[in-house]
Chain A
């Protein structure tokens, strides 16, 4: 079985070898003139403004967590919706209602605790 993977290994070795060789050759043969402009850091072509180590507002963190939570809910409900009518019948409906009900409680909790207020 391992034999079938040999071409992949070969490809990997070739790719890494080619990249490393090229970098090595260009540093060996290339001309290097370092000016102040050339060594300066850049972001997307424009001049950098301040440090990249900024403080972000902790509110983003709460919003991101809530997003993940309710996003996963949608991910689970999608296959449920596809199967519901044909196979899951009443049991499936009750189970989905329980699941959404629990998430609704979570939503209510986030709402009352003020997690969705920005100011």
Chain B
């Protein structure tokens, strides 16, 4: 019993979020309809508490030796790696809730279900980053997915939202099937579902058994690994498993899209890195070329498709695919894993800040029923609303990867990892893809600053305080991570090292 309590203590942030979700659902039942707007504020409390706990835990370990705890056998791992990703999820969720406060009210969405599902999704993400065992990974993946399927379709009155939810659900069910099939094959080949043991105490793990039995060319194991990669690549929106992304991102309510593009992608990459660098580290020669091809496809297709979009929301959806490609480059750099994993974490955090920030500006400019999302709606924004235009400009140049912004350093560290792993070709593709992306990011800036509209055509913008706070926080993060990266980067590297074998 005492062990159980201590192990539950390691799960404090997860449990806080879970209890918060239950509290929101219960409150929703007993609040009169008119007072349900407080639920968003209630949802912020557990997220804030969890973020505080996680930051304190990371702070206590920076500089000193990192602490690793196995929870429930070795099903979950409480290590700096999972704590680092928890920061990303919680920041994405807090910004997402801030974006939702006004939107949920304006579009008359069911507030209780909306915030409770957001919290459940965050819980799934946090468990996914901790999972060191395949079945646990699958359950976390499903907790996350089911919540997000419903969130995508929560604006029931709008046909595109229902369509997005159905598409996401059907394709997502396929992806879950791939994942389970992969788990079954890997279990068939090795006889275990535990990925690896970071403390080196047990050899009967997937990574240990591959070495011990020499399963390097085992067809069953390789087929299982391929299916696992497909299942996770779907959630991470990697080409050619990306077909759902544009429609779902465009159809889902805007705050949900912002939360999804940052949080779900980060969760998928958290599990991806743990799977490949932890469980299948001894098969690196096998999966590295696969990731190489996927990364090139994702970067090229994401950027090429984004160029042609006239709708800013859809443009950001394709750009989010391109950013998944950049993250894949870091995963492919497995021979330089001491820097690669840290750069994934750092980039996930920077993408959360700039991506969610850009979606926040879409909400500021957009009007009821998701109107005003065309590029032409940004005509002359700078002269009418200079602050909104300045913030959008900052997020755009950060997404494009210009110096002194978070996006530049994020890309820089990924390139650094790629070059150290002798992936020169991939580094060149990443550089060229970024240059291509300047076109569509800077086009938004050009519309805002270089064009004018007649006074009569000027449209109002949303001036909700919560939106302003979200934009300010995101902008500050983008600047802070771009100008003073050392603390965040040191923590990311320290977190990344916990995935490496002992004595690496």
Q: Which residues of A contact B (CB under 8 A)?
A: 90-91, 102, 105, 108-109, 112-113
Contact = CB atoms under 8 A, between A and B. Distances in A.
B457 interface: no
B26 A105 contact: yes
Contacts of B29: 108-109, 112-113
B22 A105 contact: yes
A102 B19 CA distance: 11
Contacts of A113: 29
Interface string B400-416: 00000000000000000
Interface of B: 1, 4, 22, 25-26, 29-30
Contacts of B26: 105, 108-109
10 contacts: A91-B1, A105-B22, A105-B25, A108-B29, A109-B25, A109-B26, A109-B29, A112-B29, A112-B30, A113-B29
Most chain B C-beta atoms within 10 Å of own C-beta, residue among A105, A109, A112, A113? A109
Nearest to A90: B1
A105 B24 CA distance: 12
A108 B26 CA distance: 8
A105 B26 CA distance: 8
A113 B112 CA distance: 11
A90 B22 CA distance: 25
Contacts of B1: 90-91
Main secondary structure of the interface of B (DSSP, over half): helix
A81 B497 CA distance: 46
A3 B26 CA distance: 60
Contacts of A102: 22
A109 B29 CA distance: 7
Nearest to A102: B22
A112 B112 CA distance: 13
B162 to A, nearest CB: 15
A8 to B, nearest CB: 24
Nearest to B110: A113
A95 B29 CA distance: 26
A109 B117 CA distance: 14
A98 to B, nearest CB: 11
Most chain B C-beta atoms within 10 Å of own C-beta, residue among A90, A91, A102, A113? A113
Contacts of B4: 91
The 7 A-B residue pairs with the shortest CB-CB distance in the complex, in nearest-first order: A112-B29, A91-B1, A109-B25, A105-B22, A109-B29, A108-B29, A105-B26
B215 to A, nearest CB: 24
Contacts of A90: 1
A112 B4 CA distance: 34
B21 to A, nearest CB: 11
Contacts of B25: 105, 109
Given A91-B4, A109-B29, A113-B29, 12 more contacts: A90-B1, A91-B1, A102-B22, A105-B22, A105-B25, A105-B26, A108-B26, A108-B29, A109-B25, A109-B26, A112-B29, A112-B30
A91 B5 CA distance: 11
A45 to B, nearest CB: 41
A105 B23 CA distance: 10
Nearest to B22: A105
A8 B1 CA distance: 51
A72 B13 CA distance: 29
A52 B152 CA distance: 34
A108 B30 CA distance: 11
Nearest to B26: A105
A49 B30 CA distance: 47
Nearest to A94: B1
B10 to A, nearest CB: 18
B120 to A, nearest CB: 13
A109 B25 CA distance: 8
A89 to B, nearest CB: 10
B413 to A, nearest CB: 43
A21 B4 CA distance: 65
A91 to B, nearest CB: 6
A95 B297 CA distance: 48
A23 B183 CA distance: 45
A113 B33 CA distance: 12
A105 B1 CA distance: 25
A102 B1 CA distance: 21
A2 to B, nearest CB: 19
Nearest to A105: B22
A13 to B, nearest CB: 30
Contacts of A91: 1, 4
A7 B375 CA distance: 71
Contacts of A109: 25-26, 29
A90 B26 CA distance: 28
